[in-house]
Chains A and B, each alone.
Chain A
Amino acid sequence: MPTSAISFDSRMSDPFTTIDQFIKGLLIGLGLDAAVTDIVLNIVGAVVLGSVVGAVAILLIWAERKLLARIQDRIGPNRVGPYGLLQTVADALKLITKEVLIPKGADRYVFIMAPMVVVAGVIGLWAVMPLAPGLIGSDINVGLLYIIAIGAIGTLGIIMAGLSSNNKYALLGAFRTVAQMLSYTVPLILALLIPVMLAGSMGMSTIVEAQGSVWFIFLAPLAALIFFISSMAEVGRAPFDLTEAESEIVAGYHIEYSGMAFGMFFVGEFIHAYTISALFTVIFLGGWQGPGVESFPLIGFFYFILKTSVMYFVVIWVRGTFPRIRIDQMNAFNWKFITPLALVVFMVTAILDKLVIEAGFNRTAVHLAANALIVLGTFFLLRAHAASLRRRLEVTDRPQVQQPEAASD
Chain B
Amino acid sequence: MTVPQIIFLATAAVTLIAALMVVTVPRLVHAGLWLILALGGIAVLFILLENGFLAVVQVAIYIDAIAILIIIAVMLTRAVMSDTDPQINRMWLASALASLIIMAGLLVIVSQAPDASRGPLVDAEVGLDALGRALVDVDGFILPFEVASVLLVAALVGSIMVAMTPTRGD
Q: Which residues of A contact B (CB under 8 A)?
A: 35-36, 39, 105, 107, 110, 140-142, 145-146, 148-150, 152-153, 155-156, 159-160, 163, 166, 171, 175, 178, 182
Contacts of A152 in B (CB 8 A): 60, 63-64, 68
A199 to chain B, nearest CB (A): 15
Q: Is B107 an interface residue (CB 8 A)?
A: no
Contact A178–B72 (Cβ < 8 Å): yes
Contact A159–B52 (Cβ < 8 Å): no
Chief secondary structure at chain A's binding surface: helix
Per-residue CB contact flags for chain B residues 28-68 toward chain A (1 = under 8 Å, else 0) read 01100100100000000000000011001101100110011
Contact A142–B128 (Cβ < 8 Å): yes
B129 to chain A, nearest CB (A): 10
A156 to B63, CA, bound (A): 9
Contacts of A182 in B (CB 8 A): 68
A75 to chain B, nearest CB (A): 43
Contact A149–B3 (Cβ < 8 Å): no
Q: Is B80 an interface residue (CB 8 A)?
A: yes
Contact B128–A141 (Cβ < 8 Å): yes
Per-residue CB contact flags for chain B residues 99-136 toward chain A (1 = under 8 Å, else 0) read 00000000000000000000000001100100000000
Interface residues of B in 1-34 (CB under 8 A from A): 2-3, 29-30, 33
Contacts of A149 in B (CB 8 A): 56-57, 59-60, 63-64
What are 20 A-to-B residue pairs whose CB atoms are below 8 Å?
A: A35-B2, A107-B29, A107-B81, A140-B52, A140-B56, A142-B53, A142-B56, A149-B56, A149-B59, A149-B63, A152-B64, A155-B64, A156-B63, A156-B68, A159-B71, A159-B75, A163-B29, A163-B80, A171-B75, A178-B68
Q: Which residues of B contact A (CB under 8 A)?
A: 2-3, 29-30, 33, 36, 52-53, 56-57, 59-60, 63-64, 67-68, 71-72, 75, 80-81, 124-125, 128
Q: A107-B81, A141-B124, A160-B33 are in contact. Are A148 and B52 (CB under 8 A)?
A: no
A175 to B80, CA, bound (A): 12
Top 4 nearest A-B pairs (CB, nearest first) are A149-B60, A152-B64, A149-B59, A140-B52
A156 to B80, CA, bound (A): 16
Chain B, residue nearest A185 (CB) = B64
A160 to B37, CA, bound (A): 13
A246 to chain B, nearest CB (A): 23
B134 to chain A, nearest CB (A): 17
Contacts of B75 in A (CB 8 A): 159, 163, 171, 175
Chain A, residue nearest B64 (CB) = A152
Chain A, residue nearest B75 (CB) = A163
A326 to B75, CA, bound (A): 23
A156 to B3, CA, bound (A): 30
